[in-house]
Amino acid sequence: MALEEYRRKRRFGVTSEPKGRKPAERKRAKNLVYVIQKHRATALHYDFRLEWKGVMLSWAVPKGPSLDPSIKRLAMQVEDHPMEYNAFEGIIPEAEYGGGTVMIWDRGYWMPADPDVDAALKKGEIKFALLGEKLEGEWVLVRTSGRGRGSQGGSKPAWLLIKHKDAYASKRDVAEEEPRSVESNRLLVEIARDEGGNMQKAADGDPPALLRRMIADPKSIAPAKTRGKKKVWHSNRPRGGARGMA
């Protein structure tokens, strides 16, 4: 596991995604974190990432997780990501790898059923529990014999993400019912608006019924975030002048 493929695919002078430090060694499989990033790139998908040995093992799940144990969701394994990526929410420039809007959709801890995750990876069956803000309970990732097409033409191992039958199994559509960021409470369209992304494209990944309600009642739309250098410039304040001098 290393970050070479992750770094090879990205131009860090252009995208604001993190380059990532050297993976930190952790002795025990305890308090391992997971994150799910909703990503409106060429196509909408959910990036499902599990911490292991200082990096985030990653799968792209086109339809997102389902709480229904009878529904198997395709999960294409992709390159390991740096742990710093877990805090990334914003815009990847359109011309770059993965160009589009990224939302931190869910996060929390994951617990592998078998502490030997390397063996589970090799076997192609990872059983685990999630303790997150949206997802909980037992899940399994099972590798299939199929291979999905990678976004750059290479083929990637195809896995299936399946909810195990337990108290957290449900028929409700969690992706549709809980479409907002756990970091900022924003929809994709609001992240694109705040961070200078393509709002039309981002909105395509938000639930249409919710967008229709927002358009019908514009007061329900969260105000734009203002922070740091994106703050509105006040023209009566002299640029570069000492504060309180004008």
Q: Which is nearer to Mn ion, 7 or 164 (CB)?
A: 7
The minimum distance between CB 100 and Mn ion, in angstroms, equals 8
Exposed (0-12), middle (13-18) or buried (19+): which is 71, by Cβ within 10 Å? middle
Q: Interface with Mn ion includes 47 (CB under 5 A)?
A: yes
Q: Which is nearer to Mn ion, 47 or 80 (CB)?
A: 47
Q: Given the rule CB under 5 A, which of 1-9, 10-18, 45-53, 85-93 is the region that contacts Mn ion? A: 45-53
The minimum distance between CB 107 and Mn ion, in angstroms, equals 15
Q: Which is nearer to Mn ion, 39 or 163 (CB)?
A: 39
DSSP H or E run through 148: strand 136-149
Euclidean distance between the first and final Cα of the chain, in Å? 56
Q: Given the rule CB under 5 A, which of 33-41, 82-90, 146-154, 160-168 is the region that contacts Mn ion? A: 33-41
The minimum distance between CB 40 and Mn ion, in angstroms, equals 9
Residue type present at position 104: I
Q: Which is nearer to Mn ion, 51 or 79 (CB)?
A: 79
Among 10, 38, 39, 201, binds Mn ion (CB under 5 A): 39
Q: Which is nearer to Mn ion, 33 or 169 (CB)?
A: 33
Residues with Cβ within 8 Å of 55's Cβ and at least 6 positions away in sequence, in order, are 1, 2, 3, 20, 23, 80, 81, 82, 83
Q: What is the DSSP string of 188-227?
A: HHHHHHHHT--HHHHHTTS-HHHHHHHHH-GGGSPPPP--
CA distance 50 to 32: 8
Footprint of Mn ion on this chain (CB under 5 A)?
39, 47
